[in-house]
Amino acid sequence: MSDIIEFEPTAYHVKNSPEGPALDISDFNLWYGESQALFDCNLEIQKGQVTALIGPSGCGKSTLLRCLNRMNDLVDGLRIRGRITVDGFDIYAKGVDVIALRKRMGMVFQKPNPFAMSIYDNITYPLRVDGVTKKSILDETVEHALKQAALWNEAKDRLNDSALGLSGGQQQRLCIARAVASDPEVLLMDEPCSALDPIATARIEELIEELKGTYTIVMVTHSMAQAARVSDNTAFMYLGRLIEYGDTDTIFTNPQKSRTNDYVTGRFG
């Protein structure tokens, strides 16, 4: 049993310090009711780097990603065994403030999901919920977040327009801006380009390259080409098990396990 009973957000402010992994997943198992979806997963996710989760459909990539900010908590019949720590804090320990945890672990989904409100309000909404009302702080946050998400030039003259009027790629960059506005340490991305065309995809990939270092990024992708282009490390999953994990070049060019090799060379998947 864990000896950590309180989640301490302050501990997260040591952003991407060079020592140790940002996230440590150890002996992690998960069941949806009677059905086990994750088996003894062990993975250290390095700070400031991009880690890709790859593997065939249904192998548990999204399940594992969603455990990293406890997005699975509301699923009926969900059980877990094992441990996930963020900067040494057990995120499943008793007393953890899950809302505070999710602020530290921003999430970007497959389909862009801006709120039906203005571009400005999309970014400031989480701050307002936290009681921030000072206009200068809100303005500054909007500009900074949009610049970080490479959307400032396209959006600065239409901040009060509806976010739903943006293109799909712009909407996804807005969702990234909204995630970074809360000043997270980690960005979790679940197939962030799957609904986008190749040009919008290339913009998001460039953005991921720019954001890494400032943020630790964990990304689920179906595209092996994308994993090879943008990630530093790759974890290959199969049937709920983590089969192999290593630096992306090695996983794609010299994997140790035959199943990894079969997958990355397109023999199945």
Ligand X SMILES: Nc1ncnc2c1ncn2[C@@H]1O[C@H](COP(=O)(O)OP(=O)(O)OP(=O)(O)O)[C@@H](O)[C@H]1O
Residues in touch with ligand X (CB under 6 A): 32, 37, 55, 57-63, 75, 222
Neighbours of 198 (CB within 10 A): 8
Nearer CB in complex with ligand X: 30/50: 30
Nearer CB in complex with ligand X: 154/262: 262
Nearer CB in complex with ligand X: 62/260: 62
Q: How far is the CB of 19 from ligand X (least distance, A)?
A: 31
Q: How far is the CB of 266 from ligand X (least distance, A)?
A: 16
**The pair of three-digit structure tokens given for residue 138, joined into one six-digit string:** 């809100």
Q: How far is the CB of 126 from ligand X (least distance, A)?
A: 25
Nearer CB in complex with ligand X: 48/60: 60
Q: How far is the CB of 18 from ligand X (least distance, A)?
A: 31
Nearer CB in complex with ligand X: 56/126: 56
Q: How far is the CB of 37 from ligand X (least distance, A)?
A: 4
**The pair of three-digit structure tokens given for residue 269, joined into one six-digit string:** 């998947």
